[in-house]
Amino acid sequence: MATLTLKNVKKSFGKTDVIHGVSIDVEDGEFIVIVGPSGCGKSTLLRMVAGLETITDGEVQIGGRRVNEEEPMARDIAMVFQNYALYPHMSVFDNMAYGLKIAKVEKSEIADRVAQAAKLLQLEPYLQRKPRELSGGQRQRVAMGRAIVRKPAVFLFDEPLSNLDAKLRVQMRLEIRALQRELGVTALYVTHDQVEAMTMADRMIVMNGGVADQIGKPLEVYANPATEFVAGFIGSPPTNFMTGALMGATSDTKLGVRPEHMRLSETGKLSARTTYCEALGAETLVHLSCADGTQVTVRQDAGAPFPEVGAQVGLDWDVANEMRFDAAGRRV
């Protein structure tokens, strides 16, 4: 259990800058999610904290101690990998006990700790099995168990749920979060899935092209995106963007309105043609095309009537819900 501090951490591969300086103070026991599209540097950032990648510039502190030059094993961290990275030739027990055996922990203590973790993760019936005899969700739990038994200061998760099917993912999401709260361990969690980020994070770091576009609590980020990228990436369906020209303005600012803040009306600020309606049961997504080809989505409650495909309708919204972005994508 410890704090984690990144101070202007940078990474370059040769002349290519991959991470342009990320800073954050993570409090003890906090769950931080790093979210962004593939190639944004989120995994690299995590691997730098783990010690699997060198840190080009800046500083990483764990529990107030600089760990830049330390080997992964000396950093007091545990990591859960996307493909779980279980040792295929070892039983579940040996997989979890591996780190403890190397640390020369006493046998009885190892047995105790593994038993404890197995109980917590409902793995008790499987301790003698090999990883290949387990289902995806069970393997995921073993990977978690391996991290837990070592009682690390920081948990690192590298897209741990992306190999699971959708239903299991939702379940494991809750389990991981519950477990982390119970253990009170600081956690850094990487994902490309904004739903995971929204639901799991105490605070999240939205990464874009090696830059932390925004750091904040999920709902704050959602309500107040700092950049056009964040507004588009966080939220599903994404924010609708309309150019200034479409709105009859001369400046090159963009206007963003979330789908749930838009409504269909007889008259309105814009006119558009319906292209498709997705009735999802609890809600309906109406896809529309504006005069200049801009695609817009409106989110309606299930009860609201939706127009026929091809119908010309008006679009309206409250000015309070408008978000404006300059040419560089920054919020204005």
Partner 1 sequence: MEKRVTFKGIWLPLLLVLPQILITAIFFFYPAGQAIWQSLFIPDPFGLSMQWVGLGNFEYLLSDRYYRASFVTTAIFSILVTVVSMGVALYLAILADRLIKGSGTYRTLLIWPYAVAPAVAGVLWLFMFNTRVGVVTWYLGLLGYDWNHVLNEGEAMGLVVVASAWGRISYNFLFFLAGLQAIPRSVIEAAAIDGAHFWTRFRTIVWPLLSPTTFFLLVVNIIYAFFETFGVIHTITSGGPQQATTILVYKVYSDGFVGQDLGSSAAQSVILLVIVSLLTVIQFKYIERRVHY
Positions in the binding site for partner 1 (CB under 8 A): 50-52, 71-73, 77-79, 81-83, 85-89, 98-99, 102-103, 146, 150
The closest alpha carbon to 203, from 180, 179, 187, belongs to 187
Residue 161 burial by Cβ neighbours in a 10 Å radius (0-12, 13-18, 19+):
buried
Smallest gap from residue 180 Cβ to partner 1 (A)? 18
Smallest gap from residue 284 Cβ to partner 1 (A)? 42
Smallest gap from residue 233 Cβ to partner 1 (A)? 26
Q: Which two tokens stand for residue 23?
A: 């800073």
Smallest gap from residue 49 Cβ to partner 1 (A)? 11
- By beta-carbon proximity to partner 1, the closer residue of 30 and 159 is 159
- By beta-carbon proximity to partner 1, the closer residue of 95 and 300 is 95
Alpha helices in the chain (DSSP H): 42-50, 92-102, 107-120, 136-149, 166-183, 194-200, 218-223, 228-233
Show Cβ contacts of residue 260 under 8 Å, excluding neighbours closer than 6 positions. 299
| Beta-sheet strands, E only, within the chain | 4-13, 16-26, 31-35, 57-62, 65-66, 77-80, 154-158, 186-191, 203-208, 211-216, 240-243, 254-257, 263-265, 270-279, 283-290, 295-301, 312-316, 323-325
For residue 42, count other CB atoms closer than 10 A to its CB.
28
Smallest gap from residue 77 Cβ to partner 1 (A)? 7
Smallest gap from residue 304 Cβ to partner 1 (A)? 48
The closest alpha carbon to 21, from 51, 61, 46, 58, belongs to 58
- By beta-carbon proximity to partner 1, the closer residue of 160 and 235 is 160
Smallest gap from residue 142 Cβ to partner 1 (A)? 11
- By beta-carbon proximity to partner 1, the closer residue of 41 and 131 is 131
SS3 category, 88: coil
The closest alpha carbon to 207, from 36, 39, 50, 48, belongs to 36
